[in-house]
């Protein structure tokens, strides 16, 4: 049945518009299979910031399994038994008594793999203050307790401040304080050592006030390069800021055994400790919730993408070049190429070729003939160029790792062949041979030219 020109152009354009290469399609599928479970996992990681008071007063139900606790942890070496599922872990677990502030009596127990000693090294945001008298008083107070006092202490006092809304200068070491003017706010990573209450040097300490957490403390702090400085904080050296994210667990027996220890009972008897629940600090919490499936999908997608970019030749469709028809409908002669694909000759069995030498030959009075070398011989196939025979024609390039060569895809009566040419001129000449007789209108239709 004759096929109209509009149908021919639609057939030529349609497959290219609708067809999606296999590898990109698989990549899109893998991305979807990765994004969906990862999104679900991220939704499940709903971490609720809570205070110690909320946990102790049971205002945090166990339906909120993941909590974030920020407070002050007592730096005591309270060893903890590892969880049942971490019996072979190389980490040593510790108990921390954490409270919201020095003046709070309520405590929550946190089991963590973080060592108490590591909490002494932390990032500090502080204001630089020129106060030689305070430094001398600190030296006089620390020396008897510490046994010695470093001589290379920075000649400035650092007052720890809240970094929110502040213009903070990042410093690499304490030695960089030499070029910082007083009043500037800096960020440093230091290790806290010995310290005393600020009131010691002035001689106006009140024991009850210090016991209630009222006052400030001057701490000797050092960095990796051996520099020293005095950092004033609102908490004593016996505690450190603690930030823990983990499961809000419930185990009355476990916490009860901990609180029954003589050492713990002597230290915490003045505090109100929640005996029914504790926080299991989990350093790898986000990693635990990323499922193995998305990781595998991502790796497969990466391998496919690598293969797509580096692996094998692939055909990339392009719009027809404006000059392809310059060869004219009367083109004759022969164009050498290499053929790949499936060919179905009339009244013969289909056969396939893979990068076989071929020649496309035509003259104005007959259909072009594609001659392909197969198994040491030649096979000739007519390529119909009438409206009822030619199915599709696509211009493009065959992409490899290091090059792109001009190519042409043509289809007719069950045949689908990809022809690769030495240059674009040869491809355009071959296209003119195949398209001769279709008319100028066909030459203006999308990928059909």
Phi, psi for 171 (deg, rounded to 5): -115, 145
pLDDT 10s digits, 59-77:
876 655 688 889 999 888 7
Note the pLDDT of residue 232. 93
Question: What is the pTM for the complete model shown?
Answer: 0.53
Quote the tokens at residue 425. 């001129």
CA gyration radius, the chain: 39
pLDDT 10s digits, 140-187:
888 777 767 787 788 889 999 988 888 999 998 898 998 889 999 999
Note the pLDDT of residue 319. 64
Note the pLDDT of residue 383. 85
**Are the beta carbons of 313 and 39 closer than 8 angstroms?**
no
To the nearest 10 degrees (0 to 180), the angle between helices 292-310 and 22-44 is: 150
Quote the tokens at residue 194. 């010995």
Note the pLDDT of residue 330. 42
Collapsing DSSP states into helix, strand and coil, what is residue 43?
helix
Phi, psi for 208 (deg, rounded to 5): -65, -40
H or E element at residue 201:
helix 199-202
CB atoms within 10 A of CB 9: 20
pLDDT 10s digits, 351-375:
999 989 999 988 666 778 899 998 8
Annotate 401-434 with three-state secondary structure: CCCEEEEEEEEECCEEEEEECCCHHHHHHHHHHH
Position 19 pLDDT exceeds 70: no
Which band of pLDDT confidence, cut at 50, 70 and 90, is reported for residue 296? confident
Quote the tokens at residue 367. 């259909």
Collapsing DSSP states into helix, strand and coil, what is residue 196?
strand
Note the pLDDT of residue 104. 83
Averaged pLDDT for residues 22-34: 69
**Are the beta carbons of 158 and 219 closer than 8 angstroms?**
no
- List the domain boundaries for the chain: 5-18+313-448, 44-116+241-289, 119-237
Averaged pLDDT for residues 86-109: 82
- The contacts of residue 171 (CB under 8 Å, 6+ apart) are 177, 180, 186, 187, 188
**Are the beta carbons of 277 and 59 closer than 8 angstroms?**
no
Note the pLDDT of residue 10. 33
């Amino acid at each position: 049945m004759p096929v109209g020109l509009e149908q021919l152009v639609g057939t030529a354009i349609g497959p290219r518009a609708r067809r999606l290469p296999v590898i990109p399609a698989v990549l899109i599928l893998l991305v979807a299979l990765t994004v969906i479970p990862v999104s679900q996992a991220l939704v499940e990681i709903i971490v609720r910031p809570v205070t110690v008071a909320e946990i102790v007063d049971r205002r945090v139900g166990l339906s909120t399994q993941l909590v974030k606790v920020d407070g002050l942890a007592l730096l005591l070496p309270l060893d903890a038994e590892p969880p049942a599922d971490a019996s072979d872990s190389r980490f040593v677990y510790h108990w921390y008594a954490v409270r919201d502030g020095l003046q709070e009596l309520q405590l929550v127990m946190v089991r963590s793999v973080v060592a108490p000693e590591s909490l002494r090294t932390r990032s500090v945001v502080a204001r630089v203050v020129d106060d030689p008298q305070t430094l001398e008083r600190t030296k006089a107070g620390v020396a008897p307790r510490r046994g010695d006092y470093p001589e290379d202490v920075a000649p400035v006092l650092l007052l720890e401040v809240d970094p929110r809304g502040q213009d903070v200068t990042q410093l690499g070491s304490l030695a960089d304080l030499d070029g910082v003017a007083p009043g500037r706010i800096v960020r440093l990573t230091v290790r806290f050592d010995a310290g005393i209450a600020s009131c010691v040097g002035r001689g106006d300490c009140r024991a009850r006030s210090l016991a209630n957490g009222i006052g400030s403390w001057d701490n000797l702090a050092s960095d990796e390069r051996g520099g020293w400085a005095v950092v004033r904080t609102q908490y004593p050296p016996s505690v450190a800021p603690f930030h823990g994210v983990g499961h809000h667990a419930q185990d009355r027996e476990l916490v009860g055994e901990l609180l029954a220890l003589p050492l713990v009972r002597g230290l915490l008897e003045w505090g109100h400790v929640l005996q029914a629940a504790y926080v299991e600090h989990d350093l790898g919490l986000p990693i635990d919730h990323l499922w193995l499936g998305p990781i595998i999908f991502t790796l497969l997608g990466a391998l496919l993408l690598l293969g797509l970019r580096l692996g094998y030749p692939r055909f990339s469709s392009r719009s027809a070049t404006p000059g392809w028809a310059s060869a004219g409908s009367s083109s004759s002669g022969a164009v050498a190429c290499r053929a790949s694909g499936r060919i179905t000759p009339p009244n013969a069995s289909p056969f396939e070729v893979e990068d076989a030498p071929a020649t496309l030959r035509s003259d104005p009075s007959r259909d072009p003939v594609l001659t392909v070398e197969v198994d040491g011989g030649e096979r000739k196939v007519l390529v119909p160029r009438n409206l009822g025979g030619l199915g599709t024609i696509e211009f493009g390039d065959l992409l490899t790792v290091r090059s792109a060569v001009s190519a042409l895809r043509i289809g007719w009566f069950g045949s689908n062949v990809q022809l690769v040419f030495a240059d674009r001129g040869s491809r355009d000449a071959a296209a003119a041979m195949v398209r001769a007789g279709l008319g100028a209108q066909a030459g203006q239709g999308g990928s059909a030219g």
